[in-house]
A and B are shown apart, each in its own frame.
Chain A
């Protein structure tokens, strides 16, 4: 029996294909035959018919056909299925036998050849005696045949050949050996396939016909056998649907068999075969759920059928194989396109197979634990005469035996013993590992990382059992971190224990230390005594001694390990190990922190290292060192104590270098930072803790950064959430969880003891030289050297601000673009303690808005820190935000000589330019002067002079100027022209006289200039008097080059009588002027509307009277006649002294008269009595 007796036979696992035997082909020597054979067997793709071809010699012996049974009455079957049966029908008994024979229709010796062929047919017929195998003849011909029916010789000879060979016409084929060989071959094989199918059909019929002879009591086995055979033939026939049906029947029949210990294996074996076939066909039919259901049913039915208790491992081996082969089928189906899911993939089946393999191993060790004296029984009961079994699943020593009790107790015992002895040699671990790794591959594919890890743990354990510790450790190490990060401590502990055992057995010191370290730590769920044992071992290792064996190690390997350890001990060197504990949960916890996130350079840097041991016994270390990013400090951060190697355990808890379990120990370090580190970050790069001693073994536990390990971040998170952390803790007792790591600190410069004060008068006014006085006073106790002031616009603001801000120290001149925005390093020199220095800085802001100014005072100072002299540079920054505002607003408007607003001016007609300077400054402004710079398109009527010279404007006050201007003629009728600039020179009133004067330029607006064809202006006195004649002269000028027809009229008015032309039509020559004289006679006092003068131009209807009227005065003030004045005085007195209602009716009437006659009373007062208000 081979060790792979549980493997399914290959003839079961292959896809059955019709077997066609070819004879008469000499493939070795005959090239034509070779080509034919190659065409048959090469390139058999899915589109070719499923036939397995074989070349057999003509005199090949086929399996003998036993004489057909006519009655089953006395027949007792010896087993379910013969071991050779499947192979016989797949490879030995052909469905069709094809005889190849070289013969052309026109062969010269046709007769002889024909009889030779007939003889050959006869020979094969004889050798297939009793079989239903069909025989066919293929004639290999050199000539291409003519189309059927044309070659009369051919048809005649074909008929005669058929006759001679006793063939039907359908079984004779012609194969012309021409170019189209493959095409002919394909046609041939299709014909062969049909013949084969007929053959298998008759076979099925034949097996079915046996059924009526069977009875249920004695022939139960035959029911199964026949169903299986029918199903198998159906498969050969490629009728998979029916095949599946028959297999299912066979499967249920198998389970109807009476089971007892003697035939259990046979039944299970057959059940397994049939189940395999069913599952395979189900997958093939793309009904994977049916396959799974069938398999589950199969397992349900069979898992209790253990059989002989002494051979229980056989059952588990068989179960394992069932799962494995199903897994294989599943996996194969997936490769062909089936999709599996996370919860239903082949991995589960492999895993289960592995599980049974593990069971098998356990049972085997349990059942096969024979004493050494027990030897393999002789004679070997497992030997059979043929070397193989007759029936599947039977025992070699009682083949064909079907009764309940074994026939020969002695033989039975010997056989069982032999099987047990064989089982001992099975490489169980290998099998298990192979299955597990299959499962791992599957679970990896179907996103089950935890399942994968679990299986890898199992693999590791299995390697451990197989004593392949290196592989075991590799696997365990790989998955350990998954469990660690997921914080499944119970699982991690179990894995670590296994790993520790492996590393012990290999005497792998570093691994041993690493695993023990974690096992005695807080992540381990081991009991105290276990931890204690491991810790003691660990200490032994540190003292370069041999640790005690781990429990669960077998004697022999423990002994080997001891020897290995002793070797290690004697070996010199390699006694120093560094273990990066960051990724583990070691038994010593470490947290390092700088006491502050930043230190001034004149303060010593303080650093605390917190250590805590979680192991059961106190632990002693010999060195603690902190590595910092600047390695110069490292030597300052070391605690060392040369300890004797013996007293690691005995160390008292008082000692500095001893960690007592559960107690937090603090080591503080202090050092003075170097001045060149100012502004730099100092980081803790690592913390190293040395365990053991130089003369024993020393182990450095190395924490990267500020300590912490795989579990600490989560613990810190929980601690932060915890209510416990809120409680008050006594000063000296440190709550471990509340300690947070601070792995870096900044070295910052010394606090400056210098005061920088600024005095200025905000806001700054646009364009002025804004003065800021900086006073620097030293409050240091020693001389401050090399004081430098950097002042100006703070860098990092809007880039435009740099362009528009200029800083200078010289306040007497205006500064310009050449001046920078920031004056760096203005040397001030040394300052004695208490000395004060002032500096004036002038800032010119060209644009408005807020600016931040920086005043940076830097100096050097010698000081003493911790007895060390250092020179530190200090600096103090002062910033100020200064708003810049416009000093005043300038409003400009154009008005007519009548002070009416103008939206356009007229050529050669005078108008006024009014400027208003409205102070917006919070400080008084001194306007030094103003100046009007006119554009060439404007002309002043006279020499314009500043009217605001030396005027002081308070906030909100306004200064106005007025200039009389005129526009020279323009080319077009209308155009927009520039007016020029208005310059205002000013300064703050508060500032000294020699402060520079700021000149603000205001560009005057453009104005529309229009040429008019006609100009009218009036010449009249400044006022009139009631009933006194008043001459008014109207001048009408024609400004065009054309003769103008002007129609003018004067409208009557209630207030005036007048003499002159009331309505007239004139003709004015180009450039000429017409004068019209009127005498107005005012009738009423006060402001009176003049009689309206209407002018219309016949040539220019666009120029309306309305426009021209603007040049003319519309009203005039008419004064009271001198005679009336006395009367008015009286009235005024009455109204002033007595209330109105007391005035007599008469008086009232006279008052009314006066009022109506002389206009409002105010007018009177305006002229003569200043007391009226």
Chain B
């Protein structure tokens, strides 16, 4: 289970960020922010070749998980080529989403910080978490009243994120 989930805009500012233990909020923000270094690097390194892949799962960002930023967390990033284009007609946002990427690459990033003491967390579980996150994010984008680039304020998204978070004890 995740301890922090963040959605980062193309320009690298947070669209949504939530972490479990409230008192460490700032630290998680830093964790997410610093992990963008690796995300950026990976994106630029792979570049165009990645654009036509179906799923851009960057995997474990820091292989040395235990010994860097925050000892008990590993950082995992999922990067998705949400290819989309917007058509603004009379306040109705038509949103088409395809994974076969052609129009533009939205470069929205998802970052999940998971507790690395949770050894049961397998790669495919993380993947499924990202898939859920991505689907939910797509729903947010489909909302005609959502303004792309704004911070996400959606109950549905919130509850989905809560379901993925470690229940604060």
Chain A residues engaging chain B, CB cutoff 8 angstroms: 292, 296, 299-300, 323, 342-344, 348-349, 351-352, 355, 447-451, 454, 457, 486-488, 490-491, 494, 714, 717-718, 721-724, 726
Q: Which of A299, A300, A486 contacts B12 (CB 8 A)?
A: A486
Q: CA of A603 to CA of B64 in the docked complex: distance in angstroms? A: 69
> Chain A contacts of B63 at CB under 8 A?
343-344
User: A448, B33: Cβ atoms under 8 Å?
Assistant: no
Number of chain B residues whose Cβ lies closer than 8 Å to a Cβ of chain A? 33
Q: Which residues on the A side are within 8 Å of B30 (C-beta)?
A: 454, 457, 491
What separation, in Å, do the CA atoms of A910 and B34 have in the docked complex? 103
Whether A343 pairs with B38 at a CB distance below 8 angstroms is yes
B147 within 8 A of A: yes
Residue in B closest to A323 when the chains form the complex, CB atoms = B67
Tell me if A721 and B148 are in contact (CB < 8 A). yes
Report Cα–Cα, A449/B35, bound state, in Å: 10
Partner of B33, one of A323, A344, A450: A450
Residues of A within 8 A of B61 (CB): 343
List of A residues within 8 angstroms of B37 by Cβ: 342, 447-451
Across the interface, do B67 and A488 meet the contact criterion of CB distance under 8 Å?
no
Q: Can you sample 16 A-B contacts with CB below 8 Å?
A: A292-B64, A296-B64, A299-B67, A343-B61, A343-B63, A344-B64, A348-B64, A352-B68, A448-B37, A450-B33, A487-B14, A488-B13, A488-B29, A491-B26, A718-B147, A718-B149
Pairwise interchain contact A343-B64, C-beta atoms closer than 8 A = yes
A963 to B81, CA, bound (A): 85
Query: Could you say which residues of chain B place their CB within 8 Å of the CB of A351?
Result: 68-69
Given contacts A343-B63, A343-B64, contact A490 B29 (CB under 8 A): yes
Q: Is the Cβ of A348 less than 8 Å from the Cβ of B68?
A: yes
B53-74 interface bits toward A, Cβ cutoff 8 Å, 1 = contact, 0 = none: 0000000011110111101000
Q: Which 8 A-B pairs have the closest CB atoms?
A: A487-B13, A448-B37, A348-B68, A451-B34, A722-B147, A723-B91, A450-B34, A450-B37
Of all chain B residues, the one with the shortest Cβ separation from A356 is B71
Residues of B near A349 (CB, < 8 A) are: 67
Q: What chain A residues lie within 8 Å of B14 (beta carbons)?
A: 487-488, 490
Say whether A450 contacts B36, CB under 8 Å: yes
C-alpha spacing A488/B31, complex, angstroms? 12
Q: Known contacts A487-B11, A491-B29: does B68 contact A726 (CB below 8 Å)?
A: no
- Chain B contacts with A in 63-103, Cβ cutoff 8 A: 63-64, 66-69, 71, 88, 91, 93
Nearest opposing residue in chain A for B68, CB measure:
A348
Nearest Cβ on chain B to A284's Cβ, whole angstroms: 21
Once A349-B67, A351-B68, A490-B26 are accepted as A-B contacts, the answer to whether A726 and B91 lie under 8 Å apart by CB is: yes
The complex places the Cα of A610 from the Cα of B88 at a distance, in Å, of: 29
Tell me, yes or no, whether B144 is within 8 Å of chain A by CB. Answer: yes
The answer to whether B149 and A454 have CB atoms under 8 Å apart is no
B69 to chain A, nearest CB (A): 7
The residue of chain B having its C-beta at the shortest distance from the C-beta of A348 within the complex is B68
In the complex, what residues of B have CB within 8 A of residue A487's CB?
A: 11-14
Q: What 0/1 readout, one digit per residue, does chain B (1-35) give for beta carbons within 8 Å of chain A?
A: 00000000001111001000000011001100110
Chain A hits for B11, CB < 8 A: 486-487, 714
5 further A-B pairs in the complex, CB-CB below 8 A; given A348-B67, A352-B68, A486-B12: A323-B67, A457-B30, A490-B26, A491-B33, A721-B147
CB-CB < 8 A to B88: which residues of A? 723
Secondary structure dominating the interface of A:
helix
Given A343-B61, A447-B41, A721-B147: A494 and B91 interface contact (C-beta under 8 Å): no
The answer to whether B67 and A352 touch across the interface, beta carbons within 8 angstroms, is: yes
Partner of B145, one of A296, A352, A451, A723: A723
Task: Determine the residue in chain A with the shortest Cβ distance to B26.
Answer: A494
Contact between B34 and A296, CB atoms less than 8 A apart: no
Q: Give A81 to B145 CA distance when docked, in angstroms.
A: 72
B66 to chain A, nearest CB (A): 7
Query: How far apart are the CA atoms of A299 and B66 in the complex, in Å?
Result: 10
Is A296 a contact of B66 with CB atoms below 8 Å?
A: yes
Cβ of B145: which chain A residues have Cβ within 8 Å of it?
Answer: 723
Residues of B within 8 A of A (CB): 11-14, 17, 25-26, 29-30, 33-34, 36-38, 41, 61-64, 66-69, 71, 88, 91, 93, 144-145, 147-150
Could you say which residues of chain B place their CB within 8 Å of the CB of A490? Answer: 14, 17, 25-26, 29
Across the two chains, which residue of chain A brings its CB closest to B31? A454
User: Measured between alpha carbons, how far is A726 from B89 in the docked complex, in Å?
Assistant: 11
Q: How far is the CA of A344 from the CA of B64 in the complex (A)?
A: 7
The distance from the CB of A873 to the nearest CB of chain B, in whole angstroms, is 46
Given contact pairs A343-B61, A487-B11, A721-B149, A448 touches B34 in the complex (Cβ within 8 A): yes
Contacts of B17 in A (CB 8 A): 490
Q: Which B residues lie within 8 Å of A488 (CB)?
A: 13-14, 29, 33
Chain A, residue nearest B147 (CB): A722
**Contacts of A447 on B, CB cut-off 8 Å?**
37, 41
In the complex, what residues of A have CB within 8 A of residue B64's CB? 292, 296, 343-344, 348
Whether the Cβ atoms of A296 and B67 lie closer than 8 Å is yes
Hey, which chain A residues are within 8 Å of B150, CB to CB? 718, 722
Query: Which B residues are in CB contact (< 8 Å) with A486?
Result: 11-13, 33
By a CB distance below 8 angstroms, the chain B residues around A721 are 147-149
For A722, the chain B residues whose CB sits under 8 A away are 147, 150
**Closest CB-CB distance, A735 to chain B, in whole Å?**
14
Residue of B12, B30, B41 with most partner-chain A CB within 10 A = B30
| Residue in A292, A342, A348, A450 with the greatest tally of chain B CB atoms within 10 Å | A450
Tell me, in angstroms, the Cα distance from A342 to B145 when the chains sit together: 40
Considering the complex, give the chain B residue whose CB is closest to the CB of A352.
B67
B93-A723 in contact (CB<8A): yes
Determine the chain B residues whose CB is within 8 A of the CB of A723 once the complex forms. Answer: 88, 91, 93, 144-145, 147
Bound state CA distance, A451 and B71, in angstroms?
A: 15
Query: Which chain A positions have C-beta within 8 A of B26?
Result: 490-491, 494
Please, how many angstroms separate the alpha-carbon atoms of A352 and B64 in the complex?
Answer: 11
Q: Collect the chain A residues with CB atoms within 8 Å of residue B62's CB.
A: 343, 348
Q: Smallest distance from the beta carbon of B47 to chain A beta carbons, Å?
A: 15
Q: How far is it, in angstroms, between the C-alpha of A721 and the C-alpha of B14 when the chains are bound?
A: 18
- Residues in B with CB closer than 8 Å to A494 are 26
How far apart sit A815 and B30, CA to CA, in the bound complex (Å)?
Answer: 83
Q: Chain A residues with Cβ under 8 A from B41's Cβ?
A: 342, 447
- Residues of B within 8 Å of A714, CB to CB, are 11, 149
Which chain B residue shows the least CB distance to A723? Answer: B91
Q: Tell me how far the C-beta of B115 lies from the nearest C-beta in chain A, rounded to whole angstroms.
A: 16
Determine the residue in chain B with the shortest Cβ distance to A493: B26
Whole-angstrom distance between the Cβ of B166 and the nearest chain A Cβ: 21
Q: In whole angstroms, how far apart are the Cα atoms of A300 and B145 in the complex? A: 50
One of A296, A342, A355, A724 near B38 (C-beta < 8 A): A342
Q: How far is the CB of A527 from chain B (nearest CB, A)?
A: 13
- How long is the Cα–Cα vector from A343 to B34 in the complex, in angstroms? 11
Closest residue on chain B to residue A494 by CB atoms: B26
What is the CA–CA distance of A457 and B27 in the complex, to the nearest angstrom?
12
Contact A717 B149 (CB under 8 A): yes
Q: How far is the CB of B6 from chain A (nearest CB, A)?
A: 11
Question: How distant is the Cα of A454 from the Cα of B148 in the complex, in angstroms?
Answer: 28
Chain B CB within 10 Å, residue with most, of A300, A454, A488, A717: A488
CA A896 to CA B61, docked complex, whole Å: 98
* CA–CA, A487 and B17, complex, Å: 13
Q: Which residue of A lies closest to B60 (CB)?
A: A343
Which residues of A lie under 8 Å from residue B13 when comparing CB positions?
Answer: 486-488
Closest chain B residue, CB of each to CB of A488: B33
Give the distance in Å from the alpha carbon of A451 to the alpha carbon of B64 in the complex.
15
Cα(A447)–Cα(B36), bound, Å: 11
Chain B residues lying within 8 Å of A451, measured Cβ to Cβ, are 34, 37
Name the residue on A nearest B70 (C-beta): A355
CB nearest neighbor in A for B17: A490
Name the residue on A nearest B67 (C-beta): A352
- Of all chain B residues, the one with the shortest Cβ separation from A303 is B71
Residues of A within 8 A of B66 (CB): 296, 299-300
Docked pose: A448 CA to B36 CA in angstroms? 9
Smallest distance from the beta carbon of A294 to chain B beta carbons, Å?
13
Once bound together, how far apart are the Cα atoms of A714 and B68, in whole Å? 33
Which single residue of chain B is at the shortest CB-CB distance from A300?
A: B66
Per the bound structure, the CA–CA distance linking A292 and B62 in Å amounts to 14
